[in-house]
Structure 1
């Protein structure tokens, strides 16, 4: 029994730091299954239902809610209580008419940000890899595990506005100077600003960018930490009305 538990559960104090749960409440938490998001970048759906949204007091109650199809992720019903919920995912609860987007807070913890219902029709996805295939089409590998085919000229690092659940690309935002970005990791996690400069290092050091926030202060962060959320301004609502 101990071995079975270790595959499905984690002791709370060993949970990733970006999980917004209290390490001293209960002994065990639920480990996300393999899926679109890595374990360190996601929360199991059960944790979302029980510990973050407080829709259930126990794991059994949370499983029952999930199993009856009352939770939608990116427009589709999910009945897997271990489903990995991660950055930019859209969570809908039709029974309560509530809709959320998963975003990081200033401490890097995954949080659920309330959004208008009409915003549930799209999500932003970052292109993590790109492969050119036959007939001039490109296969885009997205940050949430999706793979899409397109004839559009979209580069690695760019972000697409994806209509869900149809998975249709409605627009794209280039990773370029002037783009509005959300910092998703590092000491500036959760900060919003515009790219002032893209610094390409000729050494083995990672590339960086210079970001200017709304107060006209600038800071440097890794290129990989920046997620484009619009051109002149953010197209999604953000915590704190940013």
Structure 2
């Protein structure tokens, strides 16, 4: 029994720092299953339902809510309480008509940001890699584990907007100077700004970008940390009314 529990559960004090849970409330928490997001970059659906949204008082109630298909992730009912929910996923509770987007706060913790109607029918996905396959088509590898076959030209680092749950690409936001970005890592995690300059390093050092925030202050961050959220302004609802 102990070995079985160790695969599903994790001691709270060992949980990743980006999980918005208190390490001393209970001894154990639920470990996300392998899936579209890395375990250290996601939350189990049970944690979302019980600990963050407070829709259940205990694990049994949370499992019942999830098992009956009352929670949607990216427009689809997910009935596995260990299902990993991660960055940019859209979580919907049809019964209460509430919708949330998973975003990082300024401390790097994953949070559920309430989003209004009209902003809930899509999600943003970053292109992390691409390959050419048969018939000269392109396969895009997206940050949430999706693979999509397309005819059009896309670049690694760009962000596509997908309808949910249809998963059809409706727009493409290029990673370029002037683009609006959300910082997903480093000391500027959670900040919003505009790309002023992309610095391509010819050495083994990673590429970086200079970002200007709404106070006209500039900061340097890794290119991989900059997630495009719009061309001239953010197309998603953001904490703080941005």
TM-fit CA distance, 1:120: 1.8
Q: Which moved more, 1:116-125 or 1:66-75?
A: 116-125
Q: How does 1:101-140 map to 2 (within 5 A)?
A: 101-140=101-140
**Can you list the C-alpha shifts for 1:145-189, whole angstroms capped at 9, x where unaligned?**
001011111110000010111111001001011110000010000
Q: How does 1:50-69 map to 2 (within 5 A)?
A: 50-69=50-69
Following TM superposition, where does structure 1 have runs of at least 4 consecutive aligned residues deviating by more than 2 angstroms? Answer: none
1:5 matched to 2:5? The reply is yes
TM-score (normalised: structure 2): 0.99
Q: Which residue number corresponds to residue 49 of structure 1?
A: 49
TM-score (normalised: structure 1): 0.99
Distance 2:176 2:104 in 1: 22
Give ranges in structure 2 of 5+ residues lacking alignment.
none
Q: Which residue number corresponds to residue 159 of structure 2?
A: 159
Q: Which moved more, 1:130-139 or 1:106-115?
A: 130-139
Distance 2:157 2:200 in 1: 14
CA contact (8 A) 1:197 1:210 kept: yes
Distance 1:234 1:80 in 2: 32
1:224 matched to 2:217? The reply is no
TM-fit CA distance, 1:2: 1.3
Q: Which residue number corresponds to residue 188 of structure 1?
A: 188
TM-fit CA distance, 1:136: 2.4
CA contact (8 A) 1:45 1:85 kept: yes
Report the RMSD for the aligned CA atoms in angstroms: 0.6
SS in 2 for 1:7: helix
CA contact (8 A) 1:42 1:84 kept: yes
Q: Which residue number corresponds to residue 233 of structure 2?
A: 233
TM-fit CA distance, 1:205: 0.8
CA contact (8 A) 1:98 1:117 kept: no
Distance 2:14 2:182 in 1: 27
TM-fit CA distance, 1:234: 0.4
Distance 1:231 1:135 in 2: 32
